[in-house]
């Protein structure tokens, strides 16, 4: 085939397929660098493995198994059985990359433990792990077919079309990366312009964002209908990878000039203001002023969309020297054990706890309703991923979504507020 100009996704997939180039829409068989699974789907995976009669997998070194949704095996749940059976299976298979409760989200395990490196291709059982794309790694989200790559050390996929989002400028006062992705979802979800695309981010604005910010952008991208997302790694990303690769190889991949993109969007980061996403749609972002004054019962900071160190730092800027409203419960969930430890070293956990926050073990916790369940008619504002009816308990509860500044300020006020006045009082930049 002719060597057409290739996008980042095409180059990573081509390498995994042993090819010089691939074309969008083409079906190819690839050998992944890793396959990552979580425990909620494990009972079904285990039954399927038993039906197939698989006794051993060929590459246990490529399997990464993480318990991150059910961070504790609560009385009356079945999770203790899942924890045991997954741990036992990993031991039998010789899988050393098993990460039990408290290690944190798979997204963070993959980045912090050096699995996500530039040019690597990783199959996983969820789309929001596109966050590993901040390091130039490509997540391929699949469901039950994740077993194929475990059993055969290869799998097929359809090469996705690519889209390009260019960022310029820098974030304004009181604005976070969460406001940026909420803006993108608001604009691009209704017309499906990113549907089934691998979205590449570029532009001078990208350099102004921290690695935490970049992961936040990618983690929620799947709400737009995008297949996955990736960024060309810069010096900041490569330094992070080099400190964690432990001698394992990586391949820096850049798009070719003239590569074909199904859609192109440009955003000036300086033009974005604090937003709140109104339930029940993940793309229903509005300026915070439109919902300001809405009384809340609960606030939560965490999840793969908002539980990184920068999120905890942002919350601490608001909460230092303040107390949350007496009728509000504030949950804070660090995204990983490493984030938890660094937050402790920086004194962030002390600030959050003294403000009245309940600090939970690293994991998904409140995002999928495992903790922080809402009663009938209650209102929450959260940095989590979803806000559909029943996500966090009662179907009559309401979950608003926002960045860490908005969530923390609203917890103090007891109602949804613009965080910028509190930030200004605190003298925060």
pLDDT value, residue 1? 38
Pairing between β-strand 275-277 and β-strand 398-402 as defined by DSSP bridges: antiparallel
- The pLDDT score that the predictor gives to residue 428 is 56
The CA distance from 49 to 69, in Å, is 22
Please tell me the distance from the alpha carbon of residue 412 to that of residue 407, in angstroms, as a whole number: 9
Q: What is the DSSP letter of 161?
A: P
- Spatial contact of 167 and 269, defined as CB atoms under 8 Å apart: yes
pLDDT in tens, 198-214: 999 999 999 999 999 99
CATH class of residue range 8-267: alpha beta
Domain span(s) for CATH 3.30.499.10 in the chain: 8-267, 275-423
Q: Which residues of the chain have pLDDT under 70?
A: 1-3, 75-76, 428-429
| Residue 264, burial from CB neighbour count under 10 angstroms (0-12, 13-18, 19+) | exposed
Query: Tokens 């003294």 appear where?
Result: 354
Q: How far is CA 387 from CA 16, 45, 282, 328, 329, in A?
A: 36, 28, 6, 18, 18
User: So what's the pLDDT on residue 429?
Assistant: 47
State phi, psi for 36 to the nearest 5 degrees: -115, 130
At residue 2, the pLDDT reads 46
CATH of domain 275-423: 3.30.499.10
């Amino acid at each position: 085939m002719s060597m057409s100009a290739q996008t980042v996704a095409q180059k990573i997939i081509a390498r995994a397929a042993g090819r010089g180039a691939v074309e969008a829409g083409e079906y190819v068989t690839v050998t992944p660098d890793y396959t990552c699974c979580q425990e909620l789907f494990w009972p079904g995976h285990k039954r399927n493995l038993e039906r197939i009669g698989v006794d051993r997998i060929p590459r246990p070194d490529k399997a990464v198994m993480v318990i991150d949704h059910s961070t504790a095996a609560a009385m009356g749940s079945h999770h203790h059985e899942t924890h045991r059976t997954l741990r036992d299976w990993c031991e039998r298979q010789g899988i050393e990359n098993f990460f039990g409760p408290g290690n944190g989200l798979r997204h963070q395990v993959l980045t912090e433990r050096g699995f996500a490196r530039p040019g690597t291709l990783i199959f996983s059982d969820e789309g929001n792990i596109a966050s590993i794309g901040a390091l130039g790694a490509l997540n391929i989200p699949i469901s039950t077919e994740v077993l194929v790559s475990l059993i055969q050390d290869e799998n097929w996929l359809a090469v996705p079309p690519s889209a390009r989002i260019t960022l310029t400028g820098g974030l304004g006062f009181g604005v976070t990366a969460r406001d940026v992705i909420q803006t993108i979802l608001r604009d691009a979800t209704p017309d499906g312009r990113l549907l089934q695309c691998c979205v590449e981010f570029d532009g001078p604005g990208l350099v102004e964002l921290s690695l935490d910010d970049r992961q936040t952008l990618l983690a929620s991208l799947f709400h737009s209908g995008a297949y996955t997302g990736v960024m060309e790694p810069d010096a900041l990303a490569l330094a992070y990878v080099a400190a964690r690769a432990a001698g394992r190889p990586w391949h820096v991949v850049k798009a070719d000039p003239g590569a074909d993109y199904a859609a192109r969007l440009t955003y000036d980061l300086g033009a974005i203001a604090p937003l709140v996403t109104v339930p029940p749609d993940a793309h229903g972002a509005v300026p915070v002023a439109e919902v300001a004054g809405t009384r809340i019962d609960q606030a939560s900071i965490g999840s793969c969309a908002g539980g990184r160190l920068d999120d905890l730092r942002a919350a601490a800027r608001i909460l230092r020297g303040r107390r949350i409203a007496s009728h509000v419960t504030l949950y804070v969930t660090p995204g990983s054990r490493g984030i938890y430890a660094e937050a402790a070293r920086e004194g962030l956990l002390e600030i959050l706890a003294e403000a009245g926050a309940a600090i939970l073990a690293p994991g998904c916790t409140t995002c999928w309703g495992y903790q922080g369940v809402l009663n009938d008619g209650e209102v929450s504002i959260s940095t989590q991923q979803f806000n559909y009816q029943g996500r966090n308990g009662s179907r009559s509860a309401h979950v608003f979504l926002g960045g860490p500044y908005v969530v923390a300020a609203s917890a103090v006020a007891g109602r949804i507020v613009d965080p910028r006045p509190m930030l200004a009082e605190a003298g925060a930049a």
